[in-house]
Amino acid sequence: MSRTTLALIVSSLLLGGASISRAQSVRGGIIPTQTARRQGLERAWVAQVEIDRSRGRVAYVNLHDGLLLVQTDQAALNVLDAETRRTLWVAHMGRPGQPSSKPTASDKFVAATNGSRLYLFERATGRALWERHMSSVPSAGPALGADRVYVPLVTGIVASYRLPAPNDEETPLEKMFKDTALNYQGKGMSDASPIVTPNGVLFGTSGGNVYMCGLDEMRALWRFKTHEAISAPLFYRPPLVLAASRDGYVYALREMRGDARWQFSAGNPVSESPVAIGDAVFAISETGGMFRLNAQTGEQEWYAPGIFKFLSASPTKLYTADASGRLLILDARSGARLGMLPTEYLPLKVFNAETDRIYLGTTSGMFQCLREQELVEPFIHGQAVKAAEGEGGEASEEKETTETPEKPAADPNDPFAAPAAN
């Protein structure tokens, strides 16, 4: 055997070993630094949440208001700072093995469920504030407003409970009924958490309806009817509410009126939440493929095939996943494919419409955050929206010129009937 042949064999073995090592690293859950850098990304952090890896698994993970909320099937809720990976607190609630739903957060509270019980924690400390027994198990996660928490149940009811308030702000009547749920019974069950806005609480149902109810009385202000079930979460970007239906349409609804500014046909059912980023709306059909739409008119600007999930977006790029779980990087303006990461063995891909950060995890509780190399500080999408509103843009203009919808008349056979106390 010649020296040249021997050298080629050794080189092949070394390269093969390196490829196997890289594959094992990704399969083990951690994306190698060099693999990420080839796509212009840095690994910002890696963290392991509290979990018994021999028995427990991550049931739900949610990014909300700067927190990474990880709930396990062992009745543990891990709350991490999404930018620094620091574990802020861990809470144990209910019984292991009970069904749960996606946890959520506000500036003061964190809410989660276990079985038919709803738990409320203080955001800053993790201190348990109260728990409530609900009339049924949740069909989706809770949503927090300024004064109330809203939970959709499998019976089709959306139940609302009053949040803690300083005692001197409670009237005697409020103290008497603060533990009583206000309910709204819509047509169909909600498959996704409600959306709470300054003007009301919104939710879609399996009956193809989008409802907006008043924040304090759970009485319907309007209802918008589609032709099939709404299984995707709603998306709120004032003054519009984006709703995707299994009838194949994405609807841009005016929040204060409940009518459609525009609608777009994707040609197939839409079960992923549409996302508004900047001047665009991104929608994904159930059969795969992402549309970029003009946020004002709903007109199609481009289509990228093979996309099944939105993960996050930077000012110039979109981070998505294909059918096999690979991370695909797209040019935000053209839809052209720019790169790919082998993330098939990272089944937990967190939806992030708040910032540019990419969050990936395993069911055994290992999470990692990726970012673009230039974006040391997170790019916050909501800041652009707030700036536009403050400058008297379309959002604020429409709110000023739109009247609050009238409440529907009470009718026992009308889906907009008065709420029932539980």
> pLDDT at residue 6 above 50?
no
Q: How far apart are CA 200 and CA 216, in angstroms?
A: 9
Is the peptide bond preceding residue 378 cis, with omega within 30 degrees of 0?
no
Q: 358 by DSSP, 3-state: which?
A: strand
21-57 pLDDT per residue, tens: 344 445 557 899 999 999 999 999 999 999 988 889 9
82-119 pLDDT per residue, tens: 999 999 999 999 999 999 999 999 999 999 999 999 99
137-169 CB burial, b ≥16 within 10 A, e <16: bbbbbbbbbeebbbbbbeebbbbbbbbeeeeee
> pLDDT at residue 80 above 60?
yes
Residue 1: how many CA atoms within 13 Å on its side-chain side? 6
Nearest in space to 68 (alpha carbons), one of 87, 55, 51, 54: 87
- What pLDDT score does 10 carry? 39
- Residues 6 or more apart whose CB falls under 8 angstroms from that of 318 comprise 282, 290, 310, 312, 329, 330, 331, 332
Q: What is the pTM of this model?
A: 0.84
CB atoms within 10 A of CB 181: 25
- What pLDDT score does 173 carry? 53
Integer-rounded Cα Rg, in Å, for the chain is 23
- What pLDDT score does 317 carry? 98
Q: How far apart are CA 285 and CA 347, in angstroms?
A: 20
- What pLDDT score does 315 carry? 95
- What pLDDT score does 181 carry? 87
- What pLDDT score does 51 carry? 92
Residue 285: what residue type? S
207-233 pLDDT per residue, tens: 999 999 999 889 999 999 999 999 999
- What pLDDT score does 415 carry? 41
CB atoms within 10 A of CB 320: 24
- Residues 6 or more apart whose CB falls under 8 angstroms from that of 284 comprise 270, 272, 290, 291, 307, 308, 309, 310
Which residue blocks in 218-324 are alpha helix, DSSP H? none
Q: How far apart are CA 379 and CA 376, in angstroms?
A: 9
What mean pLDDT comes out for the span 149-170?
A: 87
Q: Which H or E run contains 361? A: strand 358-361
- What pLDDT score does 382 carry? 73
Cβ atoms of 137 and 120 closer than 8 Å: no
> pLDDT at residue 180 above 60?
yes
Q: How far apart are CA 183 and CA 157, in angstroms?
A: 6
Nearest in space to 33 (alpha carbons), one of 43, 21, 25: 43
Q: How far apart are CA 21 and CA 126, in angstroms?
A: 40
